[in-house]
Structure 1
Amino acid sequence: MKPITDPKVQAAYDAFPADARASAIILRDLIFQVAKDIPKVGTLTETLKWGQPSYLTATSKSGTTLRIGATKTGGCAIYAHCATNVISTYADTFPDLDQIEGNRAVHFKHSQDIVPDRIKLLIRHALTYHL
């Protein structure tokens, strides 16, 4: 697991409810794993956007931002920019397998709801969106 170096990002994760935090950390780890496996993505920038941990391909500009946030209904979600087709492509590829929020998010009530191989495809699409 890559350590969180930005105290504001760490504070955002610390503020998540425990169940959401566990899922959020899994998603964070998957984002860094996928980025590491795609050299063209380069180094990710981990920051806050709208108070949520966010992951940008600021150096390579290869992708679109991913965010991780706690949801109002419990659990957490991974968000992609709603003007992209990242979420809709994922939903079309894996119909009825996850809780999809329009074209902006995939929600996870519990950490065991995260299927790494599926979510890695969403992450890969987001991180390489502009390639």
Structure 2
Amino acid sequence: MKPEIEAKFATYPAEAQEQLKRIRRLVFSVAEENGLGTVEETLKWGEPSFLVKGGSTVRMDWKPNDPDYIKVYFHCQTSLIETFKEIYRDEFTYEGKRAIVIPLAASELGPLRHCLQMALTYHRVKHLPLLGA
């Protein structure tokens, strides 16, 4: 993990750190399992951000004004959230066209894995119905 990402994670409460680290591991796992190459990990708008070639940026964060949740952000000008809402209508709560809201206590991240796969392959699948889901 890059030092700036470690430093950012250190600012979160322990429970948020753990959930964010789980989601981070999931991003890297999806990239590896799908042969997507190197994950570029950085801070964008002060939030941990991940991108692979041919994909759309995925960001995540915890905010003190919504302390029981992690938010996983996707580019709002893509069809990602719209597609996620179609496929996973009842599995997630969404924040507009930007984010999936994940409870800190959530233990099952299976559907999120699929959403991350669609985001990380977005430019390859954006022409397919439901992003090829």
The alignment's TM-score, normalised by the length of structure 2, stands at: 0.85
In the alignment, the residues of structure 2 paired with residue 78 and residue 114 of structure 1 have an alpha-carbon distance, to the nearest angstrom, of: 15
Aligned residue among 115, 118, 125 for 1:125 = 118
User: Does 2:58 match 1:66?
Assistant: yes
User: Does 2:16 match 1:7?
Assistant: no
User: Does 2:26 match 1:30?
Assistant: yes
The alignment's TM-score, normalised by the length of structure 1, stands at: 0.87
Cα offset, 1:114, TM superposition:
4.8
User: Does 2:81 match 1:103?
Assistant: no
In the alignment, the residues of structure 2 paired with residue 95 and residue 20 of structure 1 have an alpha-carbon distance, to the nearest angstrom, of: 24
State the secondary structure of the residue aligned to 1:100. Answer: strand
Aligned residue among 50, 54, 61 for 2:45 = 50
User: Does 2:77 match 1:83?
Assistant: yes
Count of residue pairs brought into register by the alignment = 122
Report the identity percentage.
34
Do the aligned partners of residues 109 and 117 (structure 1) sit closer, same or farther apart at CA in structure 2, a change above 3 Å counting? closer
CA-atom RMSD, angstroms?
A: 1.3
Contact 1:108 1:114 in 2 (8 A): no
Do the aligned partners of residues 123 and 47 (structure 1) sit closer, same or farther apart at CA in structure 2, a change above 3 Å counting? same
Name the counterpart of 1:115.
108
Q: Which runs of 5 or more residues in structure 1 are unaligned?
A: none
Higher relative contact order (CA 8 A, sep 6+): 1
